[in-house]
Amino acid sequence: MSFELSLNTGTTPNLTLEQAAEAVATSGLKHIGPWRHLLQQAGGAEKSASIISAAGLSATTLCRGGFLTPADPEGRSAALESNRAAIREAATIGAGELIMVVGGLPAAAHLIGGSGDPADKDILGARARVAEGIAELVPYAAEHRVRLVLEPLHPMYAADRAVLSTLGEALSLAADHPAETVGVVVDTFHVWWDPQLEEMIARAGEENRIASYQVCDFNLPLAADALKSRGMMGDGYIDFPTISRWVAAAGYSGPVEVEIFNEQINTQDASITLETMKQRYQQLVLPSLEHAHVGAPA
């Protein structure tokens, strides 16, 4: 089956893994993309794997590895260790795709609870350390049959969360590694504005790099916490039919994940969220995926 919907647990942050899995199964969906802290809270990756399979679900992705930009040896070493643990967890829950949010500038590390050098605003240096970190993790990921999935983040998060801001840059970084071990995710919120988007989605398809398609909208005004400016499809300003057509035409036919950080959505009853996302998906996303897919090579 193509284009099956998946719930990223970032959309339902108040549920445990067990609660989220149950809500997803009840709503009739078959996939879930959990965050790592839910695995820990559930008693570890093996226990989490049981919870997911007991609910009749499969894990589409694990969120998240990354944060590879520390410049100090201790910070780098801790980052690599954490990513190796994430790779093992992804393998254990059967998620072939580990989403990588690569990290921001050392000068902004304090904003997300880390430490760094307040003077280090060198984005080129930070990008180079991301490339080194990915290269170092690739053999370990390959050994565990987990793909490192580079996530370009919206440029408004370039300072504090990800110095990787475009799909093109993610593909350039991936190019040094096999497609089965390093992929990219197309998350509409992060990339919808990019004038090179159509071309880069096509390139990602040709290079077999599209590991996940994530949909959520871009709301305005931005939320007080800018991270929570994501919206339900249709509530913001993204042209989902067009981007979905490009993604399917590029040959992607895997699950479509919904990851929404939004105060109102995150605190309402999960069954409402799941119902709404199913409706909006049917209305705004799926028709274009299926239409474009028909014409795609088999």
The residues binding its own copies (CB under 8 A) are 105, 107-108, 111, 121-124, 127, 154-156, 158-160, 163-166, 168-169, 172, 192-196, 218, 220-222, 224-226, 236-239, 242
Question: Would you say 87 or 284 has its CB closer to its own copies?
Answer: 284
**What is the Cα–Cα distance from 13 to 3, expressed in whole angstroms?**
24
Distances (CA, A) of 227 to 47, 224, 262: 30, 9, 8
Question: Would you say 109 or 210 has its CB closer to its own copies?
Answer: 109
CB of 25 to its own copies, least distance (A): 33
Number of other residues whose CB lies within 10 A of the CB of residue 242: 13
Question: Would you say 30 or 203 has its CB closer to its own copies?
Answer: 203
CB of 231 to its own copies, least distance (A): 11
CB of 165 to its own copies, least distance (A): 5
CB of 294 to its own copies, least distance (A): 22
Question: Would you say 7 or 108 has its CB closer to its own copies?
Answer: 108
Cβ pair 34, 93 in contact under 8 A: yes
Question: Would you say 104 or 254 has its CB closer to its own copies?
Answer: 104
Distances (CA, A) of 223 to 114, 226, 233: 23, 5, 16
The tokens for 296 are: 């795609």
* The Cα angle at residue 24 between residues 23 and 28, in degrees rounded to 5: 115
Distances (CA, A) of 201 to 10, 41, 257: 24, 36, 17
Question: Would you say 195 or 295 has its CB closer to its own copies?
Answer: 195
CB of 172 to its own copies, least distance (A): 8
The sign one gets for the Cα dihedral 230, 233, 236, 240 is positive
Cβ pair 101, 66 in contact under 8 A: yes
CB of 15 to its own copies, least distance (A): 27
CB of 70 to its own copies, least distance (A): 16
Question: Would you say 178 or 237 has its CB closer to its own copies?
Answer: 237
Question: Would you say 89 or 160 has its CB closer to its own copies?
Answer: 160
- Residues whose CB is less than 8 angstroms from the CB of residue 149 and which lie 6 or more positions away in sequence, other chains included: 61, 97, 98, 99, 100, 182, 183, 184, 185, 211, 212
**What is the Cα–Cα distance from 99 to 136, expressed in whole angstroms?**
16
**What is the Cα–Cα distance from 61 to 6, expressed in whole angstroms?**
9
Instruction: Residue 240: name the closest of 275, 191, 295 by CA.
Output: 191
CB of 196 to its own copies, least distance (A): 8
